[in-house]
């Protein structure tokens, strides 16, 4: 082989050998890519952690959740929810109103509750009444009578704002009990009022009431137009024992409340 050809082949072989040594393999590309991605990821994670306190794993949301669990407001939230589930916080109070305007006061309270936004804190409004019976032209007539004229029972969640709103209602003079914190009725007191109202519907009471030694006139029965003095009052049976003078003698007569009237 000529020397010049041998030198050419040697130069070509050396060039190929150098190319193989300098040309990166696929593994080298992948390794470089991984290193670049890793470096980029580290830069991105580091950048986010500086801006939002994100640790790159749990993130800012995780830390926010941790702060949320330690928040006193959230710690109280379950207690408030449980308290609302225990039932109503409303109590019964007595309002003093102008006599004869009890129904007007009840209507004004309902209207103002809607207008001023305290309807959810205002419960039932009760004007206690009872069924009464009287004798008119020889016939029994039943009607309703106020149990407590000039008073209205209201169920409410009392606070300063509601106290002022109710007290400033037209024809209301204030709460029974006075002050800015009136005393609510007990459960027994409320039940007594409701029971009397319900029982009177089944058995109406006489419209008139009488006292011992009171002078009355008999308006029904065999002793009509006789007058006498009340000797005994039986409120359970609604009867009276009246001492009537008959033939010059004082005689006891048993009469129903409806058979007499006051003089």
Find, among 261, 209, 255, the residue nearest to 235 by Cα.
209
CA distance 128 to 189: 13
**Distance separating alpha carbons of residues 257 and 219, to the nearest angstrom:** 10
pLDDT over threshold 90, residue 72: no
> What is the value of pTM for the model shown?
0.56
117 — pLDDT class (breaks 50, 70, 90):
very high
Q: Which residue has the tokens 């003698």?
A: 249
- Judging by DSSP bridges, how do beta strands 227-234 and 151-156 pair with one another? unpaired
pLDDT: is 236 or 65 the higher one? 236
Closest CA to 93 of 130, 124, 129, 115: 124
Q: What are phi and psi of 164, to 5 degrees?
A: -65, -40
How far is it, in rounded angstroms, from Cα 109 to Cα 169?
7
Q: Please name which of 187, 182, 170, 128 lies closest in space to residue 152, comparing C-alpha atoms.
A: 128
Residue 222 binned pLDDT confidence (cut-offs 50, 70, 90):
very high
Q: Is the pLDDT of residue 62 over 70?
A: no
Exposed / middle / buried, residue 261 (Cβ in 10 Å: 0-12, 13-18, 19+): middle
Q: Tell me the mean pLDDT in the region 145-152.
A: 93
Cβ contacts of 230 within 8 Å, gap of 6 or more: 210, 211, 212, 213, 214, 215, 216, 240, 241, 242
Give the torsion through C-alpha atoms of 161, 163, 168, 174, to 10 deg.
-170
Q: Is the pLDDT of residue 84 over 60?
A: no
* Res 58 pLDDT > 90: no
Mean pLDDT value of segment 142-159:
93
- How many angstroms separate the CA atoms of 38 and 96, rounded? 81
Q: Are strands 227-234 and 239-246 parallel, antiparallel or unpaired?
A: antiparallel
Tell me which residue has tokens 């409120």. Answer: 235
Count of alpha carbons within 13 angstroms of residue 56, beta-carbon side: 10
Cα end-to-end distance, the chain, whole Å? 164
* Cα–Cα distance measured from residue 104 to residue 110, given in angstroms and rounded to the nearest whole number: 10
CB 95 within 8 A of CB 127: no
Beta bridge partners of 242: 230, 253
Mean pLDDT, residues 133-159 taken together: 90
Which pLDDT value is given to residue 178? 66
Average pLDDT over residues 133-145: 87
| Segment among 18-22, 134-138, 144-148 with least mean pLDDT | 18-22
* pLDDT 10s digits, 159-213: 889 999 999 999 999 999 867 788 999 999 999 999 988 888 888 888 888 999 9
Average pLDDT, stretch 230-255? 93
The whole-number average pLDDT for the span 211-232 is 94
- Comparing 260 with 54, the larger pLDDT belongs to 260
Phi-psi region of 139 (alpha: psi -120 to 50; beta: other; left: phi over 0): beta
Among the residue ranges 117-131, 172-186, 220-234, the one predicted with the least confidence is 172-186
Which pLDDT score is estimated for 88?
Answer: 59
Which residues touch 136 (CB under 8 Å, ≥6 apart)?
none
């Amino acid at each position: 082989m000529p020397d010049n050809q041998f030198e050419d082949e040697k130069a070509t072989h050396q060039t190929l050998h150098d190319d193989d040594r300098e040309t990166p393999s696929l593994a080298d590309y992948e390794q470089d890519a991984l290193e670049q991605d890793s470096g980029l990821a580290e830069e991105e994670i580091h950048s986010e952690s500086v801006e939002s306190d994100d640790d790159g794993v749990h993130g800012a949301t995780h830390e926010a959740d941790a702060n949320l669990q330690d928040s006193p407001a959230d710690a109280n939230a379950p207690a408030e929810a449980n308290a609302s589930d225990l039932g109503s916080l409303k109590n019964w109070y007595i309002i003093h109103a102008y006599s004869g305007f009890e129904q007007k006061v009840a209507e004004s309270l309902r209207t103002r509750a809607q207008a001023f936004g305290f309807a959810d804190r205002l419960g039932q409004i009760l004007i206690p009444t009872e069924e009464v019976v009287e004798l008119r032209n020889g016939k029994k007539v039943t009607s309703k009578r106020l149990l407590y004229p000039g008073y209205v029972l209201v169920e409410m969640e009392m606070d300063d704002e509601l106290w002022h709103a109710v007290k400033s209602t037209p024809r209301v003079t204030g709460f029974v009990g006075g002050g800015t914190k009136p005393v609510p009725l007990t459960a027994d007191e409320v039940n007594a009022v409701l029971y009397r109202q319900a029982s009177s519907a089944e058995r109406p009471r006489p419209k008139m009431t009488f006292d011992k030694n009171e002078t009355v006139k008999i308006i029904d029965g065999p002793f009509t137009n006789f007058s006498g003095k009340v000797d005994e009052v039986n409120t359970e049976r609604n009867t009276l024992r009246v001492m009537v003078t008959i033939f010059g003698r004082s005689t006891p007569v048993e009469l129903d409340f409806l058979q007499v009237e006051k003089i």
